[in-house]
Amino acid sequence: SYNMDEKGFLIGILNKTRRVYSSTNKPKGAGQDGNRSWITVIAAICQDGTSLPPTIIYQGMALQDSWLEDWQPEDQEAWFTATPTGWTNDEVGLSWLIKVFDRSTKRKARNGRDWRLLLIDGHGSHLNIPFIKYALDHKIILAAYPPHSTHRLQPLDVSLFSPLSVYYSQNLNTHLYLTQGLSGITKRDFFRLFWPAYIRAFSKHNILSGWRKVGLLPFDPQEVLRQIPKRLDARKLREVADTSSRGLINSMLSQAFAGSDITPESQRKISSTIHQLSTQNAILNAEISGLRATVGLEKKKRKCAGADRTTGAAEITCEGEGEKVT
């Protein structure tokens, strides 16, 4: 079984970091480069703890040799192409399936005589007729994750893309520190910063950990269910309200009823009404807190809504193992 997905990079943007310095000796140079050129990496892993060569998609009309100055094809197996947006598209997806996935996995499948399972998300670049037809013609079973589930079910998302992003940011931060922010980040710098981060993140330990955390190796669906927080229902909220406020309310009512001419039946009704109002208040407060958190998340999403995954038609050019194919 294999898992494939894409990871995007803004090549000059760091993850959130903190900088500590003296107020009298502020650091020189920018906190980050700010280059927002987009690069996409197509990655794939196998259940045996190995990974397929990454495919790097640069933003541009054509692949430039200057972007690959630091690539050592003898030791660094990777594939490269370019699209106008830096995103994958249908042509790149099909090219990846044919030239990267099929070539790299055929030997393990007895030269294509055995079926291979490829787990993917629902992106259109790998859920289209040419992609599906080639897969079926070459004994590749495609299994697509349900929408909005890859953060729980996909090994790449669970155990690999996060450390990859962290390690790339660390390498970029080191570069900015050494150059004092005076040397801008360009596309020709990306591979030099990316490759050590990729090798470090895509270790056998991390790959096997990803398959284990999604409950696929060993097969254990409860592994995923255990990670999902349980939602409190109204009965549990009512129990919380009872244990936290019932004693205080009863004490206050006892003091208020002492020496009064209110009948026991009326006292009981007053007490019951106040307890009901207290419980409803606790439930409403919990719902308001949840709504506030939701509003905060929606605001963050709208700030990032400018990143539109549109794709453009471009000539497909991949390089790997010292070979150029179209």
> Can you give the residue ranges of every domain in the chain?
2-226+311-325, 234-303
- Beta-bridge partner residues of 117: 141
Residue 309 predicted with pLDDT over 80 = no
pLDDT digits (tens, 9 = 90+) for 204-253: 999 999 999 999 999 999 999 888 876 655 565 555 555 556 677 777 77
The residue written with tokens 């019932």 in the block is 246
The residue written with tokens 């020496």 in the block is 259
Residue 254 DSSP SS3: helix
pLDDT digits (tens, 9 = 90+) for 114-146: 999 999 998 888 889 999 999 999 999 999 999
181 phi, psi to nearest 5 deg: 70, 10
Residue 325 predicted with pLDDT over 70 = no
Residue 315 predicted with pLDDT over 70 = no
Alpha-carbon distances, residue 318 vs 37, 167, 241 (angstroms): 20, 25, 62
Cα 81 from Cα 61, distance rounded (Å):
10
10 Å CB burial of residue 140 (0-12, 13-18, 19+) is: buried
Long-range contacts at 284-291 (CB < 8 A, ≥ 24 apart): 286/232, 286/237
What was the pLDDT predicted at 232?
A: 54
List CB contacts of 36: < 8 A, sequence separation 6 or more: 10, 11, 12, 13
What was the pLDDT predicted at 283?
A: 83
> What are the respective helix, strand and coil percentages of the chain, to the nearest 5?
45, 15, 40
pLDDT digits (tens, 9 = 90+) for 10-66: 887 766 555 555 566 555 544 554 557 899 999 999 999 999 999 999 999 999 999
pLDDT digits (tens, 9 = 90+) for 278-294: 888 878 887 787 788 77
- The pTM (predicted TM-score) of the whole model is 0.68
Mean pLDDT, the chain, as a whole number? 83
The residue written with tokens 């990079």 in the block is 9
Higher pLDDT, 109 or 237: 109
State percent of the chain over pLDDT 70: 80
CATH number assigned to the domain with residue range 2-226+311-325, chosen from the 4 options 3.50.50.60, 3.40.50.300, 3.30.420.10, 3.40.50.620: 3.30.420.10
List CB contacts of 269: < 8 A, sequence separation 6 or more: none
Dig out the tokens for 32 from the structure.
């980050």
Residue 271 DSSP SS3: helix
Alpha-carbon distances, residue 105 vs 50, 132, 134, 243 (angstroms): 11, 17, 15, 59
Cα 279 from Cα 275, distance rounded (Å):
6
List CB contacts of 15: < 8 A, sequence separation 6 or more: 165, 166, 169
